[in-house]
Amino acid sequence: MIEYLKRNCRSILEFTLSLLIGAINFNLLLKPINLVAGGASGLSLVLSNFVSISISDLITIVFVITFLLGLFLLDKKTVRSIIFASILYPVLVKLTENIADIFMFNYTDYLLITVISGLISGVSNGLTFRNNYSGGGISVLALIMNKYFKISISISNFICNAIIVVLGGYFYGFNMVLYAIILLYISSFISNIIILGVSKNKMIFIRSKESTKLIKYLYDKYHIKVTVLENEEKDNSTFFVVVNKWSYASIKNELLEIDKNLFFVTDNCYEVGK
């Protein structure tokens, strides 16, 4: 155990930080305006309409129930990945539940709160996924659906969170559903940046009858080498090349001047290594 902690000290600290950020985000921004954005925290906001239990205690109950379900229905390796969050996140929510009384925000501008919360949520989720941890809670239900009903984890997560968001709209108004959609979109965008980083390169897949000229041009002017792909014709007509995003537009236009019938597909490229 000690050796594991030493090897994974940085990832554990980042994951702990992500849980703390998530707890503060919920108590400081989401709970005061009753914004249900999915997850165990959102479900607890919905359940608070039925029972007179504090929301932090409801979050603890939801995490305990989902953890027990995982314990009986999932494999040991998966359970080990959710146990840390299942214990720590409810504790952090409890410790920070009165943070809104310390930082006196103006909660009248729901859109501003939504955008800020989405940014914070994206950072929290990005740190979690980047270190290959599971946040526990509702994500456990998605893992169970994936195992027993063969529904992909992404779709399972979407179904569970969509139901929670819609229930939030029923209790707190349809406008809150729209705010939740905005928050989730921003959160997804930011978490992808945290996980993948900012794309500095473009990867271009090219198919051309003038491939020899194109390859020579790229090497002579930009000193760029290409990777030729296998194809049925056994020639170099299909290849891909990675270029700096700042020079992408000029390179694309210059290649099109050489071959006006050039077929190409471009995508972002986040890592380039040898």
Q: Which domain holds residue 108?
A: 2-196
> What was the pLDDT predicted at 244?
85
Evaluate whether residue 274 is within a structural domain. no
Count of CB atoms situated within 10 Å of the CB of 1: 5
Residues 155 and 265 in one domain: no
> What was the pLDDT predicted at 77?
76
How far apart CA 226 and CA 212 sit, in angstroms, is: 11
* Extended beta strands in 197-250, E state: 201-207, 227-228, 238-244
> What was the pLDDT predicted at 19?
93
> What was the pLDDT predicted at 270?
78
> What was the pLDDT predicted at 82?
86
* Extended beta strands in the chain, E state: 201-207, 227-228, 238-244, 263-269
- CA-wise closest residue to 216 among 158, 157, 259, 267: 259
Residues 166 and 206 in one domain: no
Q: Which residue has the tokens 């959710």?
A: 82
Structural domain total, the chain:
2
Residues 131 and 165 in one domain: yes
Could you tell me the pTM of the whole model? 0.78
Residues 192 and 211 in one domain: no
> What was the pLDDT predicted at 248?
87
Q: What is the length of the chain?
A: 274
> What was the pLDDT predicted at 221?
86
Could you state, in chain order, the average pLDDT of each consecutive group of 10 residues for the chain (274 residues)? 64 88 95 94 94 93 93 84 88 93 87 95 86 82 88 86 94 94 92 79 90 90 86 77 86 90 87 70
